Amino acid sequence: MYQYNDNDTQFLKQRVGQFSKQVNRYLERELNDDQFRSLRLRNGLYEELHAYMLRVAIPYGTLNAKQLQQLAYIADKYDKGYAHLTTRQNIQFNWIQLTQMGEILADLAKVNLHAIQTSGKVVRNITADPLSGIRVDEIADARPYCELIRQWFTLHPEFSWLPGKFKIAINGAKFDEIGLEFHDLGLQLNVNDKNQLGFSVYVGGGLGAAPMLAVKIKQFVAEQDVLSYLESVLRVYNLKGQRDNAKRLRIKFLVKKLGGEKFAELVEEDWLLSRNDSALKLNLPQLNAIKKDFELPIKPVKNTATENKVDFNFSIWKNNNVIANKVSGYSIVTISLTKLGSTPGNVAAEELRQLAKLAEYYSLGEIRTTKKQDLILPFVKNDDVFKLWYALKIYDLNSPHNNTFAHIVACPGADYCSLAKAVSISVAQRIQQRFHENNLLFEIDGLNLHISGCENSCAHHHVADIGLLGLNKGRQSYYQITLGGSTKYKTVLGKKIGRAISVYKIVDAVEDIVNVYLENKAQGENFSQVLKRIGIQIFKERVYG
Amino acid sequence: MVNTVEKKPSVKKYQLVNVEHWSLEARRLALVKGIILRANDDVESLALILNQAPLIAVDFSNFDDGRSYSQVKLLRKAVGYKGEIKALNVHIDHLQFIFRSGIDSYELLPEYQKYHSDYAMDFSICYQAAENNIGLVEQHKNQESSIYE
């Protein structure tokens, strides 16, 4: 992974110093609430229902065991002993005191972690495929580009006061599983006919209250030109994006208003001025140095298959949670943090600590975070998979939920979040419980369920097979159901099936949908295939009939 | 956003007018000295007029509005403007960005007058090329080799 140099560590210290000063000015009433809000958000700090929430950046979802240990320390020292994994590969703390922020950021900086630009109207953390570098069907590892682009847009003098937030995702795999098209900007690594590496550029996607898919505005930008091209996109957005309507701040509204072609034209015009500027060319020696940091730390070992133990639970877990690394002899292990009754995405300090140890022992100290709120150990020797499972079992971290219905993705919802309209956590728990009682929990695969507590769509419900969106009517929680969303190979937005359903009846409705799926599912079919074959009407009739 | 400060004193002090009120005649008579850009003025289409003014001011009183930064960039790059660019009504938390944006001079809002300009000198490192990188370690430049040609 990326190795911090002295400048990087110095920069983090200076950032801690800057934010500490800003907090003090706020406490002394020299900054008003609006000004401080804008400043704290760009440091990942939200004011929530009970306390402040701090979002720590996990750039492109890669971190090391030492950082995980430190996150556990912070969860214990400054929070209530747990943290929350987000759908943008970051990690959040829910019980933060403002007066301790300087200390917390300093503790994070000790292990090269920070909260810079994890919120606010800036370029946010850049997400990538959690299997970057270790999957077979890959054009190139996206993470060196993520790191360079992350650095370039850190406290950028021109683009730090944008109309709205700006989320970038970069995909290096041949197929897109990270949902490029629902990001403000998506970059797909590509090779042109001259065998040069570069990117296709997608702009104007987003979920939220008005979900839209991005438009491809450029087939190919050579890698050395990507910074100037991104600057041109951001410049057009910065100047022309709507700022006076809080509901229309994102770039998707500008792209929709102008049309993809017109938007692309404006970018192209602006780019003429800068594309030959040598100062904006991506620094290839620097890129190559960063690429070295991301070279795989493993070499093929004699191809031993993962042991088959006569243990039913191990077999299920292995089947669901373990896949082959592209380097022979190694496996990629997903840790599902979704044991029965748990809060989706939450992980206890003690669990983080144990996982850090296991990562050190079995995965060369590297951990990845995913948009499904999981952790991944990328470099596990096939010989070690059973031992790892056994160790995970001791700490109750061996849930075999990956790719099954038991794995529910949910935001913190109205239990924590000041934006939420409805609860998410308890609905996730009740659904899990219902299917557990029916002994179906691990047997249902080929579909997933995401629950967002409000239109901001933090749980990405639009792109789930079954999506629940929390609303409030009167003082009660209601849920609007969408079906058929996906990020597998292509982003597809789910379709609403009808009127919202109350919190009391939502579990029944979900059960109805799952039953229709199970009754109609042919061998090997997944939810979107069944939905396509039988149509949405049957589901509607069962839920509302 | 918050802006309780009266903007006019600066505008008057520097003899600034909106772009549509600019005339060479008024300039000759020393009635006006420069143009005050509004955040939605289209810099490129106004290039001919803007290039006549020895001073162009941009207003930063809206804490969250960053359009002026891109306007300044275009003034320098697209319009080829060589005169002075002045930032007015500046919040101190914007200074670190203003220093590097291509702006030549600035005037803080009155409530920040008590701060020394060192207040905003938090960083010794920058991660990107900008109009002004003076005094900063440019992390994006590889130490051994020059930038890609």
Structure confidence by residue, pLDDT tens digits, A467-511: 999 999 888 999 999 999 999 988 999 999 999 999 999 999 999
Q: Report the alpha-carbon distance of residue A34 to residue A50 in Å, rounded.
A: 19
Q: Which of A177-186, A299-308, A494-503, B60-69 has the lowest mean pLDDT?
A: A299-308
Interface mutation target, options B93, B101, B106, chain A, most CBs of A under 10 Å: B93
3-state secondary structure chain B: CCCCCCCHHHHHHCCEECHHHCCHHHHHCCCCCEEEECCCCCCHHHHHHHCCCCEEEEECCCCCCCHHHHHHHHHHHCCCCCCEEEEEEECHHHHHHHHCCCCCEEEECHHHCCCCHHHHCCCCEECCCCCCCCCCEECCCCCCCCCCC
Q: Does residue A287 sit in helix, strand or coil?
A: helix
Provide the b/e sequence for A298-309 (b: ≥16 CB within 10 Å): beeeeeeebeee
- Whether B127 and A283 lie within 8 Å, measured CB to CB: no
Interface mutation target, options A24, A126, A161, A291, chain B, most CBs of B under 10 Å: A161
**Could you report how far apart the first and last alpha carbons of chain A are, in Å?**
53
Residue B12 pLDDT class (50, 70, 90 cuts):
confident
Quote the mean pLDDT of chain A: 95
Interface mutation target, options B46, B140, B141, B146, chain A, most CBs of A under 10 Å: B140
Residues from B contacting A (CB-CB < 8 Å) are 1-2, 63-67, 69-71, 73-74, 77-78, 91, 93-94, 96-101, 111, 119, 122-131, 137, 139-142, 144-145, 147-149
Instruction: List, for residues A198-248, the tens digit of each pLDDT value.
Output: 999 999 999 999 999 999 999 999 999 999 999 999 999 999 999 999 999
Please tell me the predicted confidence (pLDDT) of residue B7. Answer: 52
Nearest-by-CA chain A residue for B43: A239
Q: Report the alpha-carbon distance of residue A183 to residue A164 in Å, rounded.
A: 13
Please tell me the predicted confidence (pLDDT) of residue B3. Answer: 36
Q: Which of A316-320, B25-29, B103-107 has the lowest mean pLDDT?
A: B25-29
Per-residue pLDDT for B2 more than 60? no
Tokens of A423: 């609860």
pTM for the full predicted model? 0.95
Per-residue pLDDT for A431 more than 50? yes
Amino acid letter, A273: L
Q: How far is CA B111 from CA A15, A19, B10, B99, in A?
A: 24, 19, 15, 19
* Angle, in degrees to the nearest 10, between helices A527-534 and A506-520: 80
- Whether B66 and A155 lie within 8 Å, measured CB to CB: no
Chain B touched by A440 (CB under 8 Å)? no
Q: How many CB atoms lie within 10 A of CB A321?
A: 26
- Whether A34 and B2 lie within 8 Å, measured CB to CB: yes
Nearest-by-CA chain A residue for B111: A30
* Residue (of A167, A207, A181, A175) closest to A491 by Cα position: A181
DSSP bridge pairs for A331: A324, A380
Q: Report the alpha-carbon distance of residue A18 to residue B121 in Å, rounded.
A: 9
Residue B30 pLDDT class (50, 70, 90 cuts):
confident
Please tell me the predicted confidence (pLDDT) of residue A309. Answer: 73
Residue with the bigger pLDDT between A513 and A310: it is A513
* Residue (of A388, A411, A297, A383) closest to A334 by Cα position: A388
Pair A488, A534: CB distance under 8 Å: no
- Whether A238 and B64 lie within 8 Å, measured CB to CB: no
Chain B touched by A197 (CB under 8 Å)? no
Q: Which residue has the tokens 């930032």?
A: B87
Q: Report the alpha-carbon distance of residue A89 to residue A369 in Å, rounded.
A: 5
As a whole number of angstroms, the longest Cα–Cα distance in chain A is 67
Q: Report the alpha-carbon distance of residue A61 to residue A91 in Å, rounded.
A: 10
Q: How far is CA A352 from CA A10, A69, A392, B91, B102, in A?
A: 27, 7, 12, 41, 46
- Whether A162 and B66 lie within 8 Å, measured CB to CB: yes
Q: Report angle CA A294, A297, A299 to the nearest 5 degrees.
A: 130
Q: Does residue A95 sit in helix, strand or coil?
A: strand
Phi first, then psi: give them for residue A280, nearest 5 degrees: -100, 0
Q: What structural domains and CATH numbers belong to chain A?
A: 6-109 (3.30.70), 135-292 (3.30.413.10), 312-394 (3.30.70.3340), 409-544 (3.30.413.10)
Please tell me the predicted confidence (pLDDT) of residue B116. Answer: 82
Q: Report the alpha-carbon distance of residue B147 to residue B149 in Å, rounded.
A: 6
* Residue (of A233, A268, A266, A265) closest to A251 by Cα position: A233
Please tell me the predicted confidence (pLDDT) of residue A54. Answer: 98
Q: What mean pLDDT is predicted for residues B9-22?
A: 90
Instruction: List, for residues A6-18, the tens digit of each pLDDT value.
Output: 999 999 999 999 9
Q: What mean pLDDT is predicted for residues B15-35?
A: 90
Q: What mean pLDDT is predicted for residues B74-96?
A: 96
Amino acid letter, B45: S
Please tell me the predicted confidence (pLDDT) of residue A306. Answer: 66
* Shortest distance, CA A32 to any CA of chain B (angstroms): 9
Tokens of B73: 């960039």
Instruction: List, for residues A317-342, the tens digit of each pLDDT value.
Output: 999 999 999 999 999 999 999 999 99
Please tell me the predicted confidence (pLDDT) of residue B5. Answer: 39
Q: Does residue A300 sit in helix, strand or coil?
A: coil
Contacts of A475 (CB under 8 A, 6+ apart): none
Please tell me the predicted confidence (pLDDT) of residue B1. Answer: 35
Residue A293 C-alpha from the chain's centroid: 23
Q: How far is CA A300 from CA A128, A137, A304, in A?
A: 25, 17, 10
Instruction: List, for residues A120-174, the tens digit of each pLDDT value.
Output: 999 999 999 999 999 989 999 999 999 999 999 999 999 999 999 999 999 999 9
Q: What mean pLDDT is predicted for residues A393-400?
A: 95
Residue A441 pLDDT class (50, 70, 90 cuts):
confident
Instruction: List, for residues A340-387, the tens digit of each pLDDT value.
Output: 999 999 999 999 999 999 999 999 999 999 999 999 999 999 999 999
Contacts of A259 (CB under 8 A, 6+ apart): none
Q: Report the alpha-carbon distance of residue A238 to residue B27 in Å, rounded.
A: 32
Torsion, Cα A25 A30 A33 A34, to 10 degrees, reads -100
Please tell me the predicted confidence (pLDDT) of residue A442. Answer: 74
Q: Report the alpha-carbon distance of residue A40 to residue A19 in Å, rounded.
A: 8
Instruction: List, for residues A121-130, the tens digit of each pLDDT value.
Output: 999 999 999 9
Please tell me the predicted confidence (pLDDT) of residue B6. Answer: 44
How is chain A split among helix, strand and coil, in percent rounded to 5? 40, 20, 40
Identify which of A8, A152, A160 has the shortest CB distance to residue B97.
Answer: A160
Nearest-by-CA chain A residue for B145: A285
Residue B146 pLDDT class (50, 70, 90 cuts):
very low
Pair A142, A189: CB distance under 8 Å: yes
Q: How many CB atoms lie within 10 A of CB A360?
A: 17
